[in-house]
């Protein structure tokens, strides 16, 4: 069954495009970024110092995640607490790249992601899907957009955040995500790059569906 791997930096449109493509093709949808955010939320709540990789690694096996893959109503909970909203706070956004760089965290989440993907029929979005999580995916997309466009989109979602501050935060996270030692954000050699800077969301969805249908 079909697996579509969707990678790219923050604000390139992965979540919106993946959900739209999943709906259009009748597939499930998995947001792997939400899983890293959920583990980060749990670490912060437990008082684990998130910039201490050894401390994070020591607790990486504890949080139990459950994830729903309906593109119309994706869900995520940790130890039976619904965390869909709290994982989007600035506190979690500020800490997630450090937690996601810890190999023990990645090993556990990649295994869980591969279990959810199972026999396929799913669009999976993240940073390492085409390279690590689903290297055999039939369709691999790498979404890009200019730093300005990505910051503008993100700051529109976050009321009160200036474009300049948002762009600085995205740049910091992209740098962290693409220079870490394990599973860095990278374009798979066989991924098709789609630059979304001057495309509307429906145009990007149509283009990815066209690529997926070969």
Contacting residues toward ligand ADP, per CB under 6 A: 8, 10-16, 153-154, 157, 196, 199-201, 204
Judged by DSSP in three states, 63 sits in coil
Radius of gyration, CA atoms only, the chain:
16
Min dist. Cβ of residue 176 to ligand CDP (A)? 7
Find the shortest distance in angstroms from Cβ 9 to ligand ADP.
7
Secondary structure (DSSP) of 3-55: EEEEE-STTSSHHHHHHHHHHHHT-EEEEHHHHHHHHHHHHHHTT--TT-HHH
User: Could you give the dihedral angle defined by the CA atoms of residues 119, 121, 123 and 129, in that order, rounded to the nearest 10 degrees?
Assistant: 20
Choosing among ligand CDP, ligand ADP, none, which partner's interface includes residue 126 (Cβ < 5 to 8 Å by kind)? ligand CDP
Give whichever of 34 and 43 is closer to ligand CDP, judged by the CB atom.
34
Distance (Å, rounded) from C-alpha 184 to C-alpha 178?
5
Taking CB under 6 A as the rule, does residue 150 contact ligand CDP?
no
Q: Which residue has the tokens 């023990």?
A: 104
Is residue 155 near ligand CDP by the rule CB under 6 A? no
Q: Is 145 left (phi over 0), alpha (psi -120 to 50) or beta?
A: beta
Q: Does 37 bind ligand CDP (CB under 6 A)?
A: yes
Q: Rank residues 128 and 196 by Cβ distance to ligand CDP and give the closer one.
A: 128
| Residues in contact with 115: Cβ distance below 8 Å, sequence separation at least 6, in sequence order | none
169 binds ligand CDP (CB under 6 A): no
128 is a contact residue toward ligand CDP (CB under 6 A) = yes
| 119 versus 198: smaller Cβ distance to ligand ADP | 198
Q: Kindly state whether residue 167 participates in binding ligand CDP, applying the rule CB under 6 A.
A: no
CB of residue 60 to ligand ADP, shortest distance in Å: 24
Residues contributing to the site for ligand CDP (CB under 6 A): 10, 15, 32-34, 36-37, 96-97, 100, 126-128, 173, 177
């Amino acid at each position: 069954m079909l697996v579509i791997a969707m990678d790219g930096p923050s604000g390139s449109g992965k979540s919106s495009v993946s959900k739209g493509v999943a709906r259009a093709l009748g597939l499930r949808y998995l947001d792997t970024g939400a899983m890293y955010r959920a583990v980060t939320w749990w670490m912060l709540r437990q008082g684990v110092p998130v910039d201490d990789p050894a401390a994070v690694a020591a607790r990486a096996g504890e949080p139990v995640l459950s994830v729903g893959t309906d593109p119309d109503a994706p869900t995520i909970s940790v130890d039976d607490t619904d965390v869909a909203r709290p994982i989007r706070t600035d506190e979690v956004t500020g800490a997630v790249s450090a937690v996601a760089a810890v190999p023990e965290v990645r090993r556990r989440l990649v295994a869980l992601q591969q279990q959810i993907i199972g026999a396929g029929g799913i669009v999976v979005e993240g940073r390492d899907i085409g390279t690590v999580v689903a290297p055999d995916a039939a369709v691999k997309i790498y979404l890009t957009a200019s730093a300005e466009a990505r910051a503008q989109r993100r700051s529109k979602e976050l009321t009160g955040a200036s474009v300049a501050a948002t762009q600085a935060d995205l740049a910091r996270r992209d740098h962290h995500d693409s220079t870490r030692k394990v599973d860095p954000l990278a374009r798979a050699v066989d991924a098709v790059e789609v630059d979304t800077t001057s495309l509307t969301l429906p145009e990007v969805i149509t283009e990815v569906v066209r690529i997926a249908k070969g």
